[in-house]
Amino acid sequence: MRPTPPPRTYRVKSFGCQMNVYDGERMAELLADQGIAPAPEGEEADLVVLNTCHIREKAAEKVYSDIGRLRREDGTAPLIAVAGCVAQAEGEEIMTRAPSVSMVVGPQAYHRLPQMIADAIEGRRAVDTDMPARTKFDVLPARRKVGPSAFLTVQEGCDKFCTYCVVPYTRGAEISRPFNDLVIEAEKLVDAGAREITLLGQNVNAWRDEAGRGLEKLVEALAAIPALARIRYTTSHPNDMTEGLIAAHRDVEKLMPFLHLPVQAGSDRVLKAMNRSHTAESYMRVLDRVRAVRPDIALSGDFIVGFPGETEAEFAETIKLVETVGYAQCFSFKYSPRPGTPAATMDGQVPAAVMDERLQRLQAALNASQLAFNRASVGKRCTVLVERRGKLDGQWLGKSPWLQSVHFIGEAAIGDLIEVELVEAGPNSLSARLLQPAHA
């Protein structure tokens, strides 16, 4: 590669989960610290970071078309860094397949971007997919301006090894960040404007500190930050829903009544083949315990249809589970074989047409469930955290405590917590009327 001038502007494009969004923000802060400015909207950046996701085949393939699209008419391209889970999984292969890429950096190594950029300027390409003992969190710069709802990664990696999933390979073993570091970062986020913090981890409810304290202790500590109004956490594993964390849904007012607890499938045979280590029944018992302390909790989940060997009868058990639970929202996916995972070579791969048809039926059931949940919310009074302006004059958009999108017309500002009554429900959002004038 030829030497290039130092980049003056950057753009970070994040795909995949919220942890990637968090990493993307941290990379942006790191680049800003190097004196590189965010590229203005609509203008080409000198440095583009593609912060990628490897969870399903389509997500991973997208990277190469995105790289291709960065090429300019004269055949040149900006400096390109591929970060995230595709970087971790494919490493050197990206360098071979995409000569215009000068940096490949994994999710645990991106704090080394400044050095990699310095090398790239001099024409040296570099791959860094280390998982160093001294973590990125120890060296990243302080948090800056954030929106009213901010993410905070508390736990990374996964030791569960579900047979379909790449995360244990791309993000490495489970690590929990230290309690005090997290409280400090939360305080910085609040100082920078956050009213709500969502604690993130691939298995966020497996978070434990050095003293063995569980996530509820962290939630309690953050609840003591006066200007922080709301706390959420995602994603949780059914087997790590402890008594203490469930009790926090009763005892900590700032902990929002929402739980994302993926089940993946309704058939115990499929769950076993997935290595989920819970049954449909044990999952339902966890939900019962949470509902016992917080009857209004909104439930959410993830589903995979067409896991190898899934029969029509087994799929029907997934639909039955959905109808029993009454989810407020959900994500559902067609099974995607991932290289290196045990399920990719299992017998009984389900034909694409069957998966399509099952996904449609599942989504119809999930949509009906979501609409029913929203309709049941009409008439409730609650707060809305205002996140942005709506399309109509004087309209604002925000989230209810149950993570529903809510719109209303009236006096407000971004970051306000506004008292409203929910008046009308659609499948994806609700409208509300103001109960009192805005307070800052």
Q: Specify the residue, 318 or 341, whose C-beta has the smaller distance to ligand F3S.
A: 341
For the segment 168-207, give every residue that binds ligand F3S (CB under 6 A): 170-171
Region of residue 133 (phi > 0: left; psi between -120 and 50: alpha; otherwise: beta): alpha
Using the rule CB under 6 A, is 31 a contact of ligand SF4? no
Give the total of residues touching ligand F3S (CB under 6 A): 13
Tell me the C-alpha distance between 50 and 57, whole Å.
Answer: 16
Single out the residue of 96, 114, 97, 141 nearest to residue 49, CA to CA: 114
Could you tell which of ligand SAH, ligand SF4, ligand F3S, none binds residue 304, using a CB distance below 5 to 8 A set by kind?
Answer: ligand SAH
Q: Using CB under 6 A, which residues numbered 283 to 302 contact ligand SAH?
A: 302
Stated as kind and residue range, the H or E segment containing 300 is strand 298-305
User: For residues 233-252, which are near ligand SF4 according to CB under 6 A?
Assistant: 237
- 39 belongs to the binding site for ligand SAH (CB under 6 A): no
Stretch that binds ligand SAH, among 213-221, 334-342, 361-369, 426-434 (CB under 6 A): 334-342
Nearest to 238 by CA among 287, 300, 185: 287
Chain residues 286-345 in contact with ligand F3S, contact rule CB under 6 A = none
Question: CA-CA distances (angstroms) from residue 187 to 223, 332, 363, 387, 415?
Answer: 11, 35, 39, 20, 16
Task: Choose the binding region for ligand SAH from 45-53, 119-127, 163-171, 206-214 (rule: CB under 6 A).
Answer: 163-171
Residue in 47, 79, 80, 85 binding ligand F3S, rule: CB under 6 A:
85
Nearest distance, CB of residue 17 and ligand SAH, angstroms: 6
Q: Minimal distance in Å, beta carbon 342 to ligand SAH?
A: 11
CA separation for the pair 139, 116 (Å, rounded): 16
Q: Which of residues 8-37 bind ligand F3S (CB under 6 A)?
A: 16-17, 19-20
Sort residue 163 into left (φ over 0), alpha (ψ -120 to 50) or beta.
alpha
* Tokens encoding 325: 């639970």
Give the DSSP per-residue string, 185-204.
HHHHHHHTT-SEEEEE-TTG
> Of 31-39, 59-67, 329-337, 428-436, which segment contacts ligand SAH by CB under 6 A?
329-337
The nearest distance, CB 84 to ligand F3S, in angstroms, is: 6
381 sits in which H/E element: strand 381-389
Residue ranges in 256-285 that form contacts with ligand SAH under rule CB under 6 A? 262, 264
Output the CA torsion sign for 296, 300, 305, 309.
Answer: negative
Q: Specify the residue for token string 């209303």.
A: 408
Q: Indicate which of ligand SAH, ligand F3S, ligand SF4, none lies near residue 338 (CB less than 5 to 8 Å, by partner kind).
A: ligand SAH
Residues within window 146-185 making contact with ligand SF4, judged by CB under 6 A: 158, 160-162, 165, 167-168
Q: Tokens 């710069």 label which residue? A: 141
* Three-state secondary-structure class, residue 241: coil
Beta carbons within 10 angstroms of residue 32's beta carbon:
14
Position of tokens 């506004």?
A: 418
335 binds ligand SAH (CB under 6 A): yes
- Region binding ligand F3S by CB under 6 A among candidate stretches 166-174, 302-310, 328-336, 393-401: 166-174
Q: Using CB distances below 5 to 8 A depending on partner kind, what does residue 56 bind out of ligand SF4, ligand F3S, ligand SAH, none?
A: ligand SAH
For the CB of residue 201, give the shortest distance to ligand SAH in the complex, in Å. 8
